[in-house]
Structure 1
Amino acid sequence: MIEKAWGSPIEALEALAVRRPSDDPLLRAAMHIRSTLNVTDNAVAVHQDRLNALTRPGHVPAFYDLERITSSAADLRVAQAESRTALQAISHVVEAREAAVPAAPAPAVRLAQVAVARSGHAPRALGQAPDQPAPSAAVGRSGAGLGPRR
C-alpha cells in the first residue's frame, strides 16, 4: 500500500524517511506505523505458535495449561487487533497524502482562468495606442446590482 502510494520500493522509502524526515512527514508517519505493524505481526505469529503448541492434536492439556491456553488466546486477539489498527492507520495516512495533493481545478475554474487570460488579448479600442495593454474584463457583479439585501 505504501509502495503504491509513493511509487517507490519500501527500501528506498525507508532511507528517504530516515534521511530527510521533514521533507515528507506523512511518509515518515507511514514508515513508523509500518515498523509497528511488523512488530505486531511477529507477535501474532508467536502467539499463534504458542497456542498451536498448547492445543496440538492428540495432546490433552494439563490443568495448569488451561490458564496458559486462555492467556495465549487473549494475547493473540490483542496482537491481531493491534495489527489491524496499524494497517488501518497506514491506510488513513495514505488517504491523507492523497487528499493533500492538489487536484486538478474544476472545469468552471479553468474556464474562468482561460477567460481572464484571453481578456489580455482582446482587440484594442479605437484610439488606443498599440503599446498599451487592453483593459481587463470586469470580474464580479456590476455596480447596478449592488444594493440592500434582505
Structure 2
Amino acid sequence: MIEEAWGLPIDALEPLAVRLPSQDPLLRSAMHIRSTMVVTDNAVTVYRNRLHTLTRPGHLSHFYDLERLTSSAADLRVAQAESQASLRAISHVIEAREATATADRAPAARLAQAAVARSGHAPRAVGQSPDQTAPPATVGPSAAGRGPYR
C-alpha cells in the first residue's frame, strides 16, 4: 500500500522518511507504523509456531503445558489485533495523504462546484419564475445569541 501511494519502493522511502521528516510527515508516520507492523507480524509468527508445536498431532499436553497453550493463544490474538490496527492506521495515513493532495490541487474549483450545487437547490421566492436566479443566502448566525455558554 505504501509503495503504491508514494510510487517508490520501500527501500527508497525509508531514507526519505528519516532524513526529511518535515517535508512529508505522512510518509514518516506510515513508515513508523510499518516498522511497528513488522514487529507484530514477527510476534504473530512466533506465537503461531508455538501453538502448532504445543498442539501437534500425537502430542499429549501436560498440565503445565495448558497454561502455555492458553497464554500463547491469547498472545497470538493480541498480536493479530495489533497487526490489523497497524494496517488500518497505514490505510488512514494514505487516505489523509490523498485528501490533502486533492485539497491542495484545486480549492477554487471545489468551491465553485459547491456554489453551483447550492444555487441549483436554493428555494425560489413565491412568484419567481424558474429562469430567474435565487436570491443569495444570508451568511452568519440565524439568531442572536444570549451570551456566553455556561
TM-score (norm 1): 0.70
2:19 alignment partner in structure 1: 19
Deviation at residue 103 of structure 1 after TM alignment: 4.2
**What SS is found at the alignment partner of 2:23?**
coil
Aligned partners of 2:92 and 2:57: how far apart in 1?
A: 41
1:84 alignment partner in structure 2: 84
Amino acid at match of 1:79: A
Aligned partners of 1:108 and 1:98: how far apart in 2?
A: 21
1:10 alignment partner in structure 2: 10
> Which runs of 4 or more aligned residues in structure 1 lie more than 3 Å from their structure 2 counterparts after TM superposition?
106-109
Aligned partners of 1:19 and 1:106: how far apart in 2?
A: 34
1:48 alignment partner in structure 2: 48
1:28 aligned to 2:47?
no
1:71 alignment partner in structure 2: 71
**Structure 2, unpaired ranges of 5+:** 114-134, 137-141, 143-150
Aligned partners of 2:57 and 2:105: how far apart in 1?
A: 57
Aligned partners of 1:100 and 1:106: how far apart in 2?
A: 13
**Structure 1, unpaired ranges of 5+:** 110-144
Deviation at residue 86 of structure 1 after TM alignment: 0.4
Aligned partners of 1:29 and 1:107: how far apart in 2?
A: 30
Aligned partners of 2:6 and 2:16: how far apart in 1?
A: 11
Aligned residues: 113
Larger radius of gyration: 1
Deviation at residue 106 of structure 1 after TM alignment: 4.0
2:37 alignment partner in structure 1: 37
